[in-house]
Chains A and B, each alone.
Chain A
């Protein structure tokens, strides 16, 4: 006997029971609706709508989509976005087309933080501080050319959430080294030749730590492997006034020479190996770190990426154990520093 025959509405749904087995394998649709990602909501903002020209497997497109829709929900749609020059700007706005469903401005490569300061100041002076401001840039626009403006915005504690989509090199111009490129990585300007192939050790900026040193309210890191965590951090960030910083690791299939379908896997391995610590800091102190669920050696992370191919032989075995060991050391240091293996963190 059908529901209709029984006099009950046809729309009755049957609750689905699922069995948590200690993994995320069951997916988003089985989570309680209130816990689901914003992307599961048909009424989401779609801040970057479909049709843009991002590459297949682009970590930045994925990260930005989650960040902005989460920020749009947190601000009830009252959001202005400022974009630095870079892939995200180029692939979303070939005139006369635009993917942006929120007010959006692109000025230059190095000034996104300052433009955002200006937007926030104008909103405040016009009595519209209900509208919030987000600035976004790649790692070049954040740690290198944009750092002066970013540091000024932090130091003045302007009411801006700055999001860095870190793909660890200048991808839009053809994969050149940035101050966020990891040691040993191949880029077009750190070729895998000579005594120390790839990017040298002992260089680069730890931007989250620099952000914390400015004494701003909120600093967090995230990856596109844990999008719930990313959304939660955006929401948390929007709960504060003043300068805030979110650093999102976004694998780039083009620049990392990785398979598009491996973007999320690689992001997860970055975290699970300890190479990329995922944490939150409030008022300059680390308050939470995402524990490693299943520790992996760094070579598992490195092996999937062509930019580290010179560390392996043709059979996939480690050929440069000296270099891999140094990278493992830095992962181990992160694990120790952030307590990533402590049970209560899991």
Chain B
């Protein structure tokens, strides 16, 4: 049904339609509205046959989900930022045990300095954990990806993380179609675990594996992800057949056919990039956009095809690897076959800084004019940075850089958000 919904509410309703049996909740901004919504539905019995458990930490949230999933219950939780880092040991464990837990990651940056706003630093921190990682471009996609996530997770016995940009999506109210229960039931069969803790057939789960087989175990995890890559495409097609709209899959493309410049990104920033593309196209600039929906497993072939013969590839990243540069860019680089094509990383939107249409247009024009560096920090206030660098060079006890720079900017900084 079409309604105006906050993103978090829409995700909560979508998850409820998937009939989770155990939901673990621990508050962290900006994820909190999602589990609040599910909790209310459980309490009012709108969502039946579900245990909603208020746990004492994110580490416990994922651990409860692990226990529940291994005992044959459909398990769900949500987190963000520091919460994901606090649960990271259990995040890897869920993947290693092959448990089909579904988790929403309401993307938020990582401190220090503490900052509650959006970027993708949290997701990048678990890039190699063995989870399937899907990124939502808007709230309709977020809803649809959750429904597909349970299907994929349970078919493949793999945990799936749906990344939804904090605030930008979780707190944005927009028109969303939350599917009817009957539709979801038709698409998502009840959870049939691959193995389950049951006295009638006792199994030992999570035993020790030495060097003689560990490589093989890890390789199988990789093979399962490759299988997931196939299924992600197929499940998106089946989703379209049931629900009448396309959502999910490997990548989304916009005007790539004749593009000289292709901009690649994850998540909600794609909306801004598409608006910028429309403007640039009006001026005759041949620019196209590729959104990566499936970040893990990584869709090399689909991306390769989407980028085509573009001469310039610009990766807009809301995260970066300190001391190196882009994270996503490394993967994107492998999908570019033309040795002459130039790849640039633009780090943008860190800690909630707005990525504007004007900023994107500037980047694309610079790329076409060969003025775009291999690594650029969009809208970086060099004056503030240089002043602090000078201060640090001038005196040993120059104070906290964070504090110094914010003081230089004045109180307007926080108001500008």
Interface residues of A (CB under 8 A from B): 77-80, 82-83, 89-90, 93-95, 98, 100-108, 110-111, 114-126, 131, 148-149, 151-152, 155-156
Q: How far is the CB of A152 from chain B (nearest CB, A)?
A: 3
Complex A-B, nearest 6 residue pairs according to Cβ-Cβ distance, in ascending order = A118-B67, A152-B56, A114-B63, A122-B71, A93-B207, A122-B73
Q: Determine the chain A residues whose CB is within 8 A of the CB of B70 once the complex forms.
A: 105, 115, 118-119, 122
**Are B204 and A93 neighbours in the complex by a CB distance under 8 Å?**
yes
User: How far apart are the CA atoms of A203 and B202 in the complex, in Å?
Assistant: 41
Cβ proximity bits B202-215 to A, threshold 8 Å, 1 near / 0 not: 11111111100100
User: How far apart are the CA atoms of A111 and B90 in the complex, in Å?
Assistant: 8
**Are B199 and A79 neighbours in the complex by a CB distance under 8 Å?**
yes
Task: Report the nearest B residue to A109, measured CB to CB.
Answer: B89
**Are A122 and B202 neighbours in the complex by a CB distance under 8 Å?**
no
Q: Is the C-beta of B97 less than 8 angstroms from some C-beta in chain A?
A: yes
Binds A, one of B47-55, B238-246, B358-366: B47-55
Q: Determine the chain A residues whose CB is within 8 A of the CB of B12 once the complex forms.
A: none
Q: Determine the chain B residues whose CB is within 8 A of the CB of A80 once the complex forms.
A: 71, 197, 199
Whether A121 touches B208, Cβ cut-off 8 Å, given contacts A79-B199, A103-B198, A156-B54, is: no
Q: Is the C-beta of B269 less than 8 angstroms from some C-beta in chain A?
A: no
Q: Determine the chain A residues whose CB is within 8 A of the CB of B197 once the complex forms.
A: 80, 103-105, 119
Q: A100-B204, A149-B59 are in contact. List 16 more A-B contacts (CB 8 A).
A: A82-B67, A105-B70, A105-B205, A108-B93, A114-B55, A118-B22, A118-B63, A118-B64, A119-B68, A120-B67, A122-B70, A122-B72, A122-B75, A125-B50, A126-B21, A148-B56
Some 9 contacts from A to B, beta carbons below 8 A apart, are A104-B202, A117-B64, A118-B70, A119-B71, A121-B67, A122-B75, A125-B51, A126-B73, A149-B59
Q: Determine the chain B residues whose CB is within 8 A of the CB of A89 once the complex forms.
A: 208
Q: Determine the chain B residues whose CB is within 8 A of the CB of A105 once the complex forms.
A: 67, 70, 197, 204-206
Q: What number of B residues sit within 8 Å (CB to CB) of A?
A: 43
Q: Which of B68, B93, B205, B207 contacts A121 (CB 8 A)?
A: B68
Task: Report the nearest A residue to B24, measured CB to CB.
Answer: A118
Q: Is the C-beta of B69 less than 8 angstroms from some C-beta in chain A?
A: yes
**Are A114 and B67 neighbours in the complex by a CB distance under 8 Å?**
yes
Q: Determine the chain A residues whose CB is within 8 A of the CB of B93 once the complex forms.
A: 107-108
Q: Determine the chain B residues whose CB is within 8 A of the CB of A115 once the complex forms.
A: 63-64, 66-67, 70
Q: How far is the CB of B367 from chain A (nearest CB, A)?
A: 46
**Are A121 and B64 neighbours in the complex by a CB distance under 8 Å?**
yes
Task: Report the nearest B residue to A115, measured CB to CB.
Answer: B67
Q: Determine the chain A residues whose CB is within 8 A of the CB of B24 once the complex forms.
A: 118
Task: Report the nearest B residue to A131, measured CB to CB.
Answer: B199
Q: Which of B49, B65, B89, B208 contacts A95 (CB 8 A)?
A: B208
User: How far apart are the CA atoms of A73 and B200 in the complex, in Å?
Assistant: 15
Q: Determine the chain A residues whose CB is within 8 A of the CB of B280 once the complex forms.
A: none
Q: Determine the chain A residues whose CB is within 8 A of the CB of B64 once the complex forms.
A: 114-115, 117-118, 121
Q: Is the C-beta of B355 less than 8 angstroms from some C-beta in chain A?
A: no
**Are A125 and B59 neighbours in the complex by a CB distance under 8 Å?**
no
**Are B59 and A148 neighbours in the complex by a CB distance under 8 Å?**
yes
**Are A114 and B59 neighbours in the complex by a CB distance under 8 Å?**
yes
Whether A110 touches B59, Cβ cut-off 8 Å, given contacts A95-B213, A118-B66, A121-B53, is: yes
Q: Is the C-beta of B140 less than 8 angstroms from some C-beta in chain A?
A: no
Q: Determine the chain A residues whose CB is within 8 A of the CB of B67 once the complex forms.
A: 82, 105, 107, 114-122
User: How far apart are the CA atoms of A83 and B50 in the complex, in Å?
Assistant: 25
Q: Which of B22, B57, B202, B208 contacts A90 (CB 8 A)?
A: B208
